[in-house]
């Protein structure tokens, strides 16, 4: 069993932005979702754990590796798929993975070829191995990204906003691949897409303004809101009035009309009806934003 322990991690950038504010999390094998809006500090945390930047203070360990004092040891057991997985022009999937395997220290050419073929088969790209990666769809590029992240039997895999821009079919294939990978290692899925976490993760944290505002399971977070979420249609003109009188946690357009969810300990009546909460309700309630469009 692998264990990642993060204690009191803080990071402030030169422009004064406090990207990480006393972050503490413990993560074990499996899929762990890090959910938060854009600018919450998720990528800063991922980059810090991937040893791409240093924290101002705090400690992080993976098993017996002190991540900040032993970055080279961490990189040996790290798989990382960044938000923007850039690829070399005019290089095939086979060549790309071979190059990444060399960088990971796999010097035996026969061993490397077997590994590359195995990984390409695992991500269902073996038949495309001779094609230039630049010609691949977004989903195929992400699968190459996961393949390179699996080189070297990693104990920790970090994927940052992996499904942004993927169509539903590609997202489902990516979900299945990540779920399989996450059986034996720690996989941290950093995303602002609620469905990613709901579909894949047994444990999660919600991040906002550099802080962890929730840790636990998606289902426990949903259960906490049971009996407290109410919904109704409103007119555009009524939105501001309702925002001033109720704790609106989400607002979306349904059939061209605003449809709001509010958080309340008791039934607010006034046309509201009780609804079963979902992870989106949890997300908006935890980051304390009304998301009202006026």
Give per-residue pLDDT as tens, 102-112: 988 898 999 99
pLDDT at 123: 86
* Same-domain status, 159 and 263: no
CB atoms near residue 34 (< 10 Å) = 26
* Same-domain status, 202 and 245: no
User: Under 8 Å CB-to-CB from 288, ≥6 apart: which residues?
Assistant: 208
Q: In what order do the strands lie in the sheet with 78-81?
A: 78-81, 156-160, 186-191, 30-35, 203-208, 211-216
* Same-domain status, 174 and 275: no
pLDDT at 200: 87
* Same-domain status, 178 and 255: no
pLDDT at 30: 92
* Same-domain status, 213 and 261: no
8 A C-beta contact, residue 89 and residue 136: no
CATH of the domain at 49: 3.40.50.300
* Domain end position, chosen among 195, 221, 247: 221
Q: Is residue 184 part of a domain?
A: yes
pLDDT surpasses 90 at 276: yes
Q: Between 143 and 34, whose confidence is greater?
A: 34
Q: What mean pLDDT is predicted for residues 27-45?
A: 93
Q: What is the DSSP letter of 256?
A: T
Tell me the per-residue pLDDT of 65-79, one tens digit each, with 9 for 90 and over.
Answer: 999 999 999 998 999
Q: Is residue 271 part of a domain?
A: yes
User: What CA–CA distance (Å, rounded) separates 260 from 272?
Assistant: 9
Q: Between 282 and 137, whose confidence is greater?
A: 282
Q: Is residue 98 part of a domain?
A: yes
List the structure tokens of 25: 């999390």
pLDDT at 19: 96
Domain that holds residue 276: 223-287
* Same-domain status, 204 and 240: no
pLDDT surpasses 90 at 193: no
* Same-domain status, 233 and 282: yes
What is the count of structural domains for the chain?
A: 2
* Same-domain status, 155 and 235: no
């Amino acid at each position: 069993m692998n264990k990642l322990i993060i204690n009191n991690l803080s990071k402030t950038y030169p422009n004064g932005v406090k990207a990480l504010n006393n972050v503490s999390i413990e993560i074990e094998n499996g899929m762990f979702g890090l959910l938060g809006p854009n600018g919450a500090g998720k990528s800063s945390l991922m980059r810090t754990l991937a040893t791409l930047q240093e924290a101002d203070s705090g400690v992080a360990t993976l098993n017996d590796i002190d991540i900040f004092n032993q970055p080279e040891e961490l990189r040996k057991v790290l798989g990382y798929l960044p938000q923007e997985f850039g690829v070399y022009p005019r290089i095939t999937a086979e060549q790309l993975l071979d190059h990444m395997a060399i960088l990971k220290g796999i010097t035996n050419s026969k061993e490397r070829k077997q590994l590359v073929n195995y990984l390409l088969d695992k991500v269902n790209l073996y038949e495309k191995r001779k094609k230039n990666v630049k010609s691949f769809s977004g989903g195929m590029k992400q699968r190459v990204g996961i393949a390179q992240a699996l080189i070297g039997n990693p104990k920790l895999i970090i994927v940052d906003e992996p499904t942004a821009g993927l169509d539903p079919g590609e997202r489902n294939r990516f979900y299945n691949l990540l779920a399989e990978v996450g059986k034996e290692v720690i996989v941290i899925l950093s995303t602002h897409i609620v469905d990613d976490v709901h579909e894949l993760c047994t444990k999660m944290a919600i991040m906002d303004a550099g802080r962890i505002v929730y840790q636990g399971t998606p289902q426990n977070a949903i259960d906490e809101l049971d009996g407290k979420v109410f919904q109704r249609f409103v007119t555009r003109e009524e939105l501001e009035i309702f925002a001033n009188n109720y704790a609106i946690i989400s607002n979306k357009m349904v059939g061209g009309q605003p449809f709001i969810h509010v958080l309340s300990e008791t039934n607010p009546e006034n046309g509201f009806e009780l609804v079963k909460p979902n992870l989106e309700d949890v997300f908006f309630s935890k980051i304390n934003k009304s998301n009202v469009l006026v």
